[in-house]
Amino acid sequence: MIRDIITYPDKRIEIISPDLRAFDEDLYSVIQDLKDTLEAKQVKAIAAIQIAVPMSVIVVKKEDGSFLEIINPRIIRKSGSIDSMESTLYFPNITQNVKRYEKINIIYQDRDANQQALKAEGDFALLLQRKIDYIYGATLANRMKNKGRKEFKKELAAGGVQGSFESCPTVFKRDYVSSVLMKILFFILIANIASFFVSPETLISIQKYVGYGIIVTSILVVAYFFVGYYELNVEKSCTSCKMGLITANTLYYALATIAMAVMSYFLLKV
């Protein structure tokens, strides 16, 4: 069945599509609808959320006319950078230049739940990245810098397209701070456990590095909060609930750091 493709400013495009666990007739029906809609609209690929179905499914029409069914995709490797002039059915008659990866490796499942993998580069890699963005609730607008996004809004308005234009980036710098922080906390935890099995000489070295680790994590907790606060001020379209999330995460990291410090004090006498 041919389905309508949702367009701006329909907010359903921002729904994150969960991974599929049931590979059943409902899935097969959605895949067939995607194929019918893809053919009718004469496009190369389509994600389920584009027809307002929040499923982690993409259908691609290959050059030989057959279809590639991609379920629960994950990009596991990426390399290179390329400028891509892109258009999308969600923003009709609009073309924008964005940065994309030149090559990607993905893993996914087929309709029988079998694990698959593929490598893509060039136009095919760009196509897959656009569709995978949709699965995570992102659109072409999420790939733009603030300046480009403002110009994009004006272009939409000039074309008579009305509606709010809100978009938050899909990746934040504070996530990198969080990643480093969690790795150091994990190291401290392992060091505390190792203290039961090492010699006194080794324990002295562990004490020193754990002490450094606690200092660094304390600094990173503060950095996480202020980097997050800065990003939300830059990204004015992000809602205030995001600030609540940053505050909650900061409190979580602070408590985790305190817990590791107390544990180290009693086990290592740091």
Cα–chain center distance at 41: 28
pLDDT digits (tens, 9 = 90+) for 213-236: 999 999 999 999 998 888 777 655
Average pLDDT score over residue span 12-28: 91
Q: Are residues 152 and 256 in the same domain?
A: no
Facing residues of 79 across strands?
103
pLDDT digits (tens, 9 = 90+) for 237-269: 454 446 777 888 899 999 999 999 998 888 776
Q: What is the CATH number of the domain that holds 107?
A: 3.90.45.10
d(CA 209, CA 212): 5
Average pLDDT score over residue span 72-89: 89
d(CA 52, CA 49): 5
Task: For residue 172, give the nearest of 142, 149, 192 by alpha carbon.
Answer: 142
Res 240: pLDDT = 42
What global pTM score does this model have? 0.60
Res 166: pLDDT = 52
Q: Are residues 116 and 80 in the same domain?
A: yes
Whether residue 200 is predicted with pLDDT greater than 60 in this model: the reply is yes
* Domains in the chain, number: 2
Single-letter amino acid code for the residue at 21 = R
Phi then psi for residue 54, to 5 deg, are: -80, 70
Single-letter amino acid code for the residue at 235 = E
Single-letter amino acid code for the residue at 130 = R
Does the residue 102 lie in any domain? yes
Band the pLDDT of 9: cuts 50, 70, 90: confident
Q: Are residues 177 and 129 in the same domain?
A: no
Structure letter (DSSP) for residue 84: E
Q: Are residues 29 and 113 in the same domain?
A: yes
d(CA 140, CA 267): 51
Q: Are residues 34 and 62 in the same domain?
A: yes
Q: What spatial distance separates the first Cα and last Cα of the chain, rounded to whole Å?
A: 67
Q: Are residues 33 and 133 in the same domain?
A: yes
CA distances, 40 to each of 44, 46, 65, 199, 202 (Å): 11, 12, 14, 72, 69
Q: Are residues 45 and 118 in the same domain?
A: yes
Q: Are residues 200 and 118 in the same domain?
A: no
Facing residues of 115 across strands?
109
Average pLDDT score over residue span 79-91: 87
Whether residue 110 is predicted with pLDDT greater than 90 in this model: the reply is yes
Cβ atoms within 10 A of the Cβ of 70, count? 24
Does the residue 5 lie in any domain? no
- Residue 60: strand, helix, or coil: strand
d(CA 157, CA 93): 12
Give the residue from 97, 130, 158 where a domain finishes: 158
Give the residue from 158, 188, 223 where a domain finishes: 158
Res 241: pLDDT = 46
Q: Are residues 147 and 18 in the same domain?
A: yes
Does the residue 6 lie in any domain? no
CB 112 within 8 A of CB 30: no
Does the residue 68 lie in any domain? yes
- Domain span holding position 142: 11-158
- Residue 237: strand, helix, or coil: coil
pLDDT digits (tens, 9 = 90+) for 124-165: 999 999 999 999 888 887 777 666 666 676 766 666 655 554
Average pLDDT in the chain: 85
Does the residue 166 lie in any domain? no
Q: Are residues 44 and 120 in the same domain?
A: yes
Q: Which two tokens stand for residue 34?
A: 């995607």
CB 35 within 8 A of CB 59: yes
d(CA 73, CA 54): 14
Res 54: pLDDT = 93
Does the residue 101 lie in any domain? yes
Q: Are residues 59 and 145 in the same domain?
A: yes
Cα–chain center distance at 262: 34
Cα–chain center distance at 59: 20
Q: Are residues 195 and 237 in the same domain?
A: yes
Q: Quote the percentage of the chain above a pLDDT of 70.
A: 85
Structure letter (DSSP) for residue 173: H
Res 155: pLDDT = 67
Does the residue 165 lie in any domain? no
